[in-house]
Structure 1
Amino acid sequence: MPAAKGVCTRKGLFVTSTHSRSRPAPRRALLVEDDEGVRRSLQLLLHGRGFEVRSYASAVPLLQSDQERDADVLVADYQLPDKNGIAVLRDLRARGWQGRSVLITAFPSQALIQEAQGIGFHAVLEKPLQHHLLMAALA
């Protein structure tokens, strides 16, 4: 039975998620972030924690590939040049993808958190990211 789990940002925004203790840690991650420095930093973090990372600077190349099929997790920036992160997850869910997902944003709001929860994001985290919160959300 999954246990309830929450992830909190510096400003106290809270999104609940579920975490199954019996499931092994995800190993394949999709990352979509348009800021090259942030993307590279997250690639290094995730790789260092044992993830195989496929990263994209925008949504369309990710959605045009078939790489999402075997991915365990998605880390998506909200504000991307071609679609927002919520649209990315919506498109992936429409294809049947069921992995864990984290939305990252520099401008969190209650409305954004509610929208993200509604589409199925497990957490919404504020930039600059606190790495331990991201890793907890992906566990």
Structure 2
Amino acid sequence: MEHSRSRPLALIVEDDDAVRRSLHLLLRSIDYDVRAYATAARLLASQPLRAARVLLADYRLPDDDGIEVLRRLRTIGWRGRAFLLTGFATPELFERASDCGYEATLEKPIRPCELIRLLRY
């Protein structure tokens, strides 16, 4: 399935079904075309990677972590905006995420208003 040409494409990789679904609905409500995945492997195997403008990645995934996901995307030339999600925030994680290229690290539970503000900036 090809993404909509009129809406920017966002990628979500989050292993928690409820969180993934709520993020999907939130991004759709602010006019993003969304592709959501439960694992890093599925996201990285998907076709619309380069077309995506935004990545929301959970830090702890069953098969990888969000830092490595962004590193892999950057190695294939993806230059979109990236936001790390975590329930395990530490100063070290914030620093690693920033060094890797994440614009922001958001602590769970995600505050929808904060995420929308970041996406619209």
Pair 1:85 & 2:70 matched: no
Cα deviation for residue 137 of structure 1 reads: 2.0
- Bigger share in helix: 2
| Structure 2 counterpart SS, 1:128 | coil
Task: Judge conservation of contact 1:103–1:125 (CA < 8 Å) in 2.
Answer: yes
Asked whether the equivalents of residues 100 and 121 of structure 1 are also in contact (C-alpha less than 8 Å), the reply is yes
The aligned runs of 1:112-127 (5 Å cut-off) are 112-127=93-108
Q: Give matches, 1:59-98, under 5 Å.
A: 59-98=40-79
How many percent of aligned residue pairs carry the same amino acid? 49
Which residue number in structure 2 is paired with residue 39 of structure 1? 20
**Paired residue for 1:134, among 104, 108, 115?**
115
More displaced 10-residue stretch of structure 1: 121-130 or 63-72: 63-72
Question: What count of residue pairs does the alignment treat as equivalent?
Answer: 114
Query: Residue 86 of structure 1: SS of its match in structure 2?
Result: helix
**For residue 38 of structure 2, what is the amino acid of its counterpart?**
A
Q: 2:39 aligns with which of 33, 50, 58?
A: 58
The amino acid of 2:31's aligned partner reads G
**Which whole-Å deviations, capped at 9, do the CAs of 1:13-44 have from their partners, x for residues lacking one?**
xxxxxxxxxxxxx7210000000000000100
Q: After the TM superposition, which parts of structure 1 deviate over 4 Å for at least 4 consecutive aligned residues? A: none
Report how far residue 133 of structure 1 moved: 1.1
Secondary structure of 1:97 counterpart: coil
Q: Where in structure 1 are there 5+ consecutive unaligned residues?
A: 1-25
Deviations 1:31-75 (A, max 9, x none): 000000000001000001100000000000111122211000000
TM-score of the two chains, using structure 1 as the length reference: 0.80
Which one has a larger percent strand, Structure 1 or Structure 2? 1
- Local SS of the residue matching 1:72: strand
**Farther off after superposition, 26-35 or 108-117:** 26-35
Q: Distance in 2 between matches of 1:83 and 1:135?
A: 26
RMSD: 1.0
